[in-house]
A and B are shown apart, each in its own frame.
Chain A
């Protein structure tokens, strides 16, 4: 099993803690006077998203997590499983509901997502920063009202609900920022 020395820990490295893979988000080296050195890290659990603190004595050995972020194309969902394909190898993987998590309402066929694989199995899915989605349902659009900044909810083809300006109609194609869940503009098609 691959491992890191605590002195080699860096931001972005993936390590195993309490049986789960974690991503290191912060590293601090501390050493009081002439004493024992420690490495203090903040890590994000790649399965649950929870961030925790952990401190290691210097020269401790920490198990590396076999975690890879891979660009994959979203294919379809059969109810329980969301399928993604590596466009270079054509390998397909299936992600369960837990792994798909918050990405679920943003997944549109053929979009390229980042699938985080742990020992080859998807543990999380990150949608593209921006997606182009069609409005499936919303109140009828109000012409001319572009200045007030008033919004209404719209349900997109993927099920995501987004606040949109009043002039948007069913069938409009919108550009949405998946990181904030905010409407950005109408997409030119």
Chain B
């Protein structure tokens, strides 16, 4: 290792830009009377999501570093907080690459009584506000998940046989050993999303993908008219995933079932078990207002403003130098 590893990975001008963007975000939400909150980073429970691995402490009584402030913020919503936002560091094991750092800054906000379309518009406004000085932005485009797959992969994500998804991957020169069993459908869809759809999305402006398969609902409500779909959306800009949002699940029983299902999947995969956040279930039982929520990766947003190729350029110190 060379001696220059004490140095920041971001230019000092990038840090200035980060500070400016944080100030703009706070102003944006202050104008809209959205309350800034802070919730614990260390928690007794973690996310059960099999695709997200929490860091855990080595103390006798394990604590989990949060992977998103979602559960705690929902408890505030259930307690009557009204609209809230948070800017915080979150932590995810084993996520490292040009677009990933195991510790990253998230902007997460919740809007009671706002529907998913309303929140998509608000995300669009905020992103345009933050980026307007740095890059010209084309018109916002929207594709349903099904439309995106039809247009950029040429398959129907729900109706195609899994073997057709595998064939589509091979056509795009993706070579992977993965079974064509129905149980692997979501993995094939994730693969095609990351390696075929994302690079093919229109560039130059925000692109929202919405109505994900119900199997990828995470913490979103299912669509009332079409239960094969979940009210979830993602924002991409220049092929870079910036934000993930939901029409939030408010049903405590359904939430408990999804947690249980996650834990079964973890067990099947040989992944470590994670205790369920019973406080969240209790809060949902008490009653959480109908609301939409979204999490936006600020380091990625900064990458766009900086025209950076690697996330390290947006971080004072990359994880390697931390």
A36: Cβ under 8 A from any B Cβ: yes
B94 lies within 8 A of A32 (CB): no
In the complex, the chain A residue whose C-beta lies closest to that of B219 is A34
**For A31, what are the chain B residues with a Cβ–Cβ distance below 8 Å?**
51, 95, 100, 194
A30 lies within 8 A of B52 (CB): no
Please pick, from B51, B96, B97, B98, the residue contacting A35 in the complex, using a CB distance under 8 A: B51
B173: Cβ under 8 A from any A Cβ: yes
Most buried by B among A34, A36, A52: A34
**For B98, what are the chain A residues with a Cβ–Cβ distance below 8 Å?**
28-29
Interface residues of A in 159-184 (CB under 8 A from B): none
Q: For this complex, into which size category does the number of interface residues on chain A fall?
A: 20 to 34
Main secondary structure of the interface of A (DSSP, over half): strand
A33: Cβ under 8 A from any B Cβ: yes
B191 lies within 8 A of A36 (CB): yes
B174 lies within 8 A of A34 (CB): no
B175 lies within 8 A of A36 (CB): no
Interface residues of A in 94-114 (CB under 8 A from B): none
* Segment touching B, from A53-61, A76-84, A140-148, A150-158: A53-61
Q: For this complex, into which size category does the number of interface residues on chain B fall?
A: 20 to 34
Given A29-B95, A30-B194, A52-B175, also A36-B187 (CB < 8 A): yes
B129: Cβ under 8 A from any A Cβ: no
Please pick, from A30, A36, A53, the residue contacting B173 in the complex, using a CB distance under 8 A: A53
Given A29-B96, A36-B191, also A57-B178 (CB < 8 A): yes
Most buried by A among B96, B97, B100, B193: B97
Given A28-B98, A38-B191, A38-B194, also A33-B175 (CB < 8 A): no
Q: Give CA–CA (A141, B188) in the complex, Å.
A: 66
A37: Cβ under 8 A from any B Cβ: yes
B198 lies within 8 A of A53 (CB): no
B94 lies within 8 A of A37 (CB): yes
Q: Give CA–CA (A53, B218) in the complex, Å.
A: 31
A130: Cβ under 8 A from any B Cβ: no
Interface residues of A in 20-34 (CB under 8 A from B): 27-34
**For A34, what are the chain B residues with a Cβ–Cβ distance below 8 Å?**
49, 51-52, 216, 218, 244
**For A186, what are the chain B residues with a Cβ–Cβ distance below 8 Å?**
none
A33 lies within 8 A of B244 (CB): yes
A7: Cβ under 8 A from any B Cβ: yes
B190: Cβ under 8 A from any A Cβ: yes
A32 lies within 8 A of B194 (CB): yes
A35 lies within 8 A of B244 (CB): no
A40: Cβ under 8 A from any B Cβ: yes
Q: Give CA–CA (A74, B190) in the complex, Å.
A: 50
B190 lies within 8 A of A35 (CB): yes
**For A7, what are the chain B residues with a Cβ–Cβ distance below 8 Å?**
94, 96
Contact with B along A117-130 (1 / 0, CB 8 A): 00000000000000
B94 lies within 8 A of A57 (CB): no
Interface residues of B in 161-193 (CB under 8 A from A): 173-176, 178, 186-187, 189-191, 193
CB distance from B80 to the nearest CB of A (A): 28
In the complex, the chain B residue whose C-beta lies closest to that of A55 is B176
B174 lies within 8 A of A53 (CB): yes
In the complex, the chain B residue whose C-beta lies closest to that of A40 is B195
CB distance from A8 to the nearest CB of B (A): 10
**For A36, what are the chain B residues with a Cβ–Cβ distance below 8 Å?**
51, 186-187, 190-191
Contact with B along A33-73 (1 / 0, CB 8 A): 11111101000000000001111111000000000000000
In the complex, the chain A residue whose C-beta lies closest to that of B233 is A33
CB distance from B32 to the nearest CB of A (A): 26
Contact with A along B91-120 (1 / 0, CB 8 A): 000111111100000000000000000000
**For A57, what are the chain B residues with a Cβ–Cβ distance below 8 Å?**
176, 178, 187
Q: Give CA–CA (A55, B99) in the complex, Å.
A: 17
B100 lies within 8 A of A29 (CB): yes
**For A32, what are the chain B residues with a Cβ–Cβ distance below 8 Å?**
190, 193-194, 198, 241
**For A29, what are the chain B residues with a Cβ–Cβ distance below 8 Å?**
95-100
Please pick, from A35, A37, A54, the residue contacting B175 in the complex, using a CB distance under 8 A: A54
Further pairs besides A40-B174, A57-B176: 20, Cβ < 8 Å: A7-B96, A27-B97, A28-B97, A29-B98, A30-B195, A31-B95, A31-B194, A33-B234, A34-B52, A35-B186, A35-B194, A36-B186, A37-B51, A37-B95, A38-B190, A38-B194, A52-B175, A54-B175, A54-B176, A55-B175
Chain A interface (Cβ within 8 Å of chain B)? 7, 27-38, 40, 52-58
Please give me the 8 A-B residue pairs with the lowest Cβ-Cβ distance, nearest first. Answer: A29-B97, A35-B190, A55-B176, A30-B194, A32-B193, A36-B190, A32-B194, A36-B187
